[in-house]
Structure 1
Amino acid sequence: MFNRTTKNDDTDINQDVSLLADTLDDLLKSYGSKTKEEVDSARGKAESLLKETRAKLNGRNRVTQAAKDAGDHVDSYVHDKPWHGVGIGTAVGIVIGALLASRR
């Protein structure tokens, strides 16, 4: 029911992970050929990218979990009190119909 994701979010995550992988690859290559300052700089950049990517993934997981929890609550409420659900649906339909009718 709430399993839809936008392709834009997936693309952003894929780009972030790809950028992180490229930075880590540069870091590993630089260990033998660069000075300590350059290696430390590359390590700092990789660490900050890793933190940002983790934060984005965790934020997305929290939003997804909150949506699933809300859907579960609505589902259990409607199963426990089906006529209340019908009444709420009817009320919402009347309000939307009135708003659409008033625009014309």
Structure 2
Amino acid sequence: MNPFTTLGLAETATPGEVKKAYRKRLLQVHPDVIGEAGHQVTVDVIAAYNQALVVAQANAATVEPAPVVGFVPAHHPAHDAGIRKNSAFVASTFRAVA
């Protein structure tokens, strides 16, 4: 059986979604909740979780991260200009007391 189907997920689920679905499903089928009949179902859910997590982590590793918006690297001229501007502000605002 498909591990994603066992957990009630799409095959494009992220590792976080897999973990959340696993915990939710395990609470539903745990032997403490539904009795001895839940033992085998719990074993199946745990196996499905392990398989789905490996696939989801592999899928997550192949997806390129989205670019960070508004980030200026430290070596960028705009960053250097901001430092000079702030340094001038600090120097004019806070004078050394002699």
TM-score, scaled to structure 2:
0.39
Which of structures 1 and 2 has the bigger CA Rg?
Answer: 2
Task: Name the structure with the higher helix share.
Answer: 1
TM-score, scaled to structure 1:
0.37
